[in-house]
Structure 1
Amino acid sequence: MHLLTASVLLITTGLSNGDKTTILRLPSPQTTKSYVKLQAATPAMTALTACLRAKTAFTGSGNSHFLSYAAGGMDNAFLFAYNRNGAIYSYVFNSNKDTSVFKVDDGAWHHWCFSWNNRGGKWTVYKDGMPAAAGTGFQTDKTIPANGVWIVGQDQDRLGGGFDATQAYVGDITSINVWNTDNVNFAAVANCGDNFGGNVISWYDVSKEIHEVSTYRKDLCKLK
C-alpha cells in the first residue's frame, strides 16, 4: 500500500496492470486533512447518476461522506453519503433525501448508485446493481450548477474546503463514476469488470489530487 502524505496529482488512464484499479483508503481517526479532489469539467445537470464501490465498517457521531460537489455558491449542490444509522442519503440542489437503504457500514464491499432526474423529481438508490429505494417529486425542475468542485471523503461547507472531521469518510472507496443522465445500465456498471466510465467523471481517466490518503491497486473481481 502506498501512502500519499502530500498533495499529489495522480493520473490514471484506462485499465492496466492486469486489470487492477486504484482504490483509496481514507484513514481513521477522522480528519479534515484526508481527501481527494477529482479534476472534472462538469456541465450544468438536470439529471445525474453517481456510482461508487465502498467498503467500510465505520459509523461515527456524524454523517460520513463518500462524495461531495459544490458549485455556484452552493455547498450542497450534490452529496452522496450515509448517516450515523448506516443509511444512504443524498443532497441535490441543497435539499436532503433520506432513504431506507441501511447497512452501508457492514464491512463488506458494495456498489452504490444514486440517480436523479428533474423531470418529475425521480430518484433511485441502487445497491449492487439492483434498485433498493426510489421515489418522485424530489427537486423537480432544479438544475445542478456547472463548473464546481468534486471532493471524495469530505463534505464541503465552502467551495473546495470547509471540512468537518466528524463528517469525514473512513474506509475504502473506488470506481467513482458520474453521468449527467439517469439512463444508465446499473447492472452492467456494478459488474466487477467495471468497464463503464461516467461521461462527467470516469474513474480510470479522471485526474486525482490526493491529500493524505493511502492507495492500492487490485482486480475488482477479487475484492473481499
Structure 2
Amino acid sequence: MEFGLLLLMLTACAAAPQDLSGKMFTFKKETDTDHVKLTASRQDFGPFTVCHRSFTALKREHPFFSMATSSHHNAFLVYWNPSNGGMEGYIRSNGSPTVKFGNMDYKPNMWHSICTTWDSKSGLMQLWLDGQPSMRLSAGTGTISGPVTIVLGQDQDSPGGGFDQSQSFQGMMSDVHMWDSVLPSCEIRNYMDDCNFMPGNVLNWSELKYQITGAVVVGNKEPPTCRTSCSASKTMS
C-alpha cells in the first residue's frame, strides 16, 4: 500500500510541468535506452514549428527530435546524417527521409540553434540553422494523427522504443519549443537570437512535462556563445 502510494506520488511529480529556463538535458553516453519523453499539449497536428538548441561532439548520424505514432514511427523526425547529405526531415514516414537539406554548416563541439517548420497545406518544410534558412522543400501535405510519442535522445522505430545505440544522441540539449503553426521568420530569428521570443504552445521549455529514462542529467545551461543582444538585434532590423 505504501509502495503504491509512493509510486503514484513519483508519477504525479514527473507529470507536473517543470520550468527548465536556464537548464539543459545532458545525454552522457551512447546507449539504446537513455532518452527523455515529452508530453505535448495536443496529439494531432497540421502545421507546426519545432526549435531546439544542442551541442555534441558526435560526427556520426544522430537524431534531434523524434515524434512517432502507431502508423508512422517517423511521423516527424529531424536527423543529422553526414553520409546522406546532412540534415534530414521526415514527415509521416516509415523509412527514407522525406526531404534532405544539403550544405548545412553543422559542426561538432559548438552550440547550434535549429528550427524546422512544416506547412501541412502546401507540404513545404524548411530548416533554419543558426539563423540561416534552407530552401523550402516539398515534404507532402496532410495531417499527423495521434496519439503521438515525442522523444529526445533517440530515433524511434516504434512509439517509445526500437532504439539503436549507433543512432543515439550524446551531448547537451536545451530550449525545446513547439508551436502549432509555421512561425514567421521574425519570430524564428528572435528564437535564434534568444531575444524575447514567443514560447511554444505545444511544448514550452519553461512549462515542460517530461519523463527521463536512464542516465540523462538536468543541469544549468552553459553560457551561449556570443549571441546578438536584443537591443542590437532591434537596431539592425
* TM-score of Structure 1 vs Structure 2, range by shorter chain: 0.7 to 0.9
- Larger CA Rg, structure 1 vs 2: 2
CA-CA distance at 1:180 after TM superposition: 1.6
Count of residues in correspondence between the two structures: 207
Offset of residue 194 of structure 1: 6.2
Q: CA deviation at 1:164?
A: 0.8
- How far off is 1:215 after superposition? 2.1
User: What is the TM-score of this pair, normalised by structure 1?
Assistant: 0.83
Which amino acid in the other structure matches residue 211 of structure 2? E
Question: Where does residue 220 of structure 2 map in the other structure?
Answer: 217
Q: Which residue of 2 aligns with 1:66?
A: 64
Q: Does 1:21 align with 2:19?
A: no
- Unmatched 5+ stretches in structure 1: 1-6
Partner letter of residue 206 of structure 1? L
Distance 2:167 2:152 in 1: 12
Q: Cα–Cα, structure 1 residues 14 and 33, in superposed 2: closer, same or farther, change >3 Å?
A: closer
Q: What percentage of residue pairs aligned between the two structures are identical? A: 25
Which consecutive residues of structure 2, in runs of 5 or more, have no partner in the other structure? 1-10, 226-237
CA distance in 1, matches of 2:62, 2:196: 24
> RCO greater where, 1 or 2, for CA within 8 Å and sep 6 or more?
1
2:97 is the alignment partner of 1:99 = no
Per-residue CA distance 1:83-104 (angstroms, 9 max, x = gap): 1358221111115211114343
Q: CA, structure 1 residues 46+101, in 2 after alignment: closer, same or farther (shift >3 Å)?
A: farther
Partner Cα separation in structure 2 for residue 112 and residue 27 of structure 1: 21
TM-score normalized with structure 2 length: 0.78
The question of whether the paired residues in 1 share the 8 Å contact of 2:46 and 2:119 is answered with yes
Contact 2:19 2:208 in 1 (8 A): no
**Amino acid corresponding to residue 21 of structure 1 in structure 2:** G
Q: Deviations over 1:50-90 (max 9, x none)?
A: 10001112123xx3011100114311100012113582211
What's the secondary structure of 2:166's corresponding residue? helix
- The structure whose residues are more often helix, as a share, is 2
Match of residue 122 from structure 2: 120
Contact 2:174 2:221 survives alignment (8 Å): no
Shift of the 40–120 alpha-carbon distance from structure 1 to 2, 3 Å rule, reads closer
Quick check: 1:152 aligned with 2:155? no
SS in 1 for 2:207: coil
Higher strand share: 1
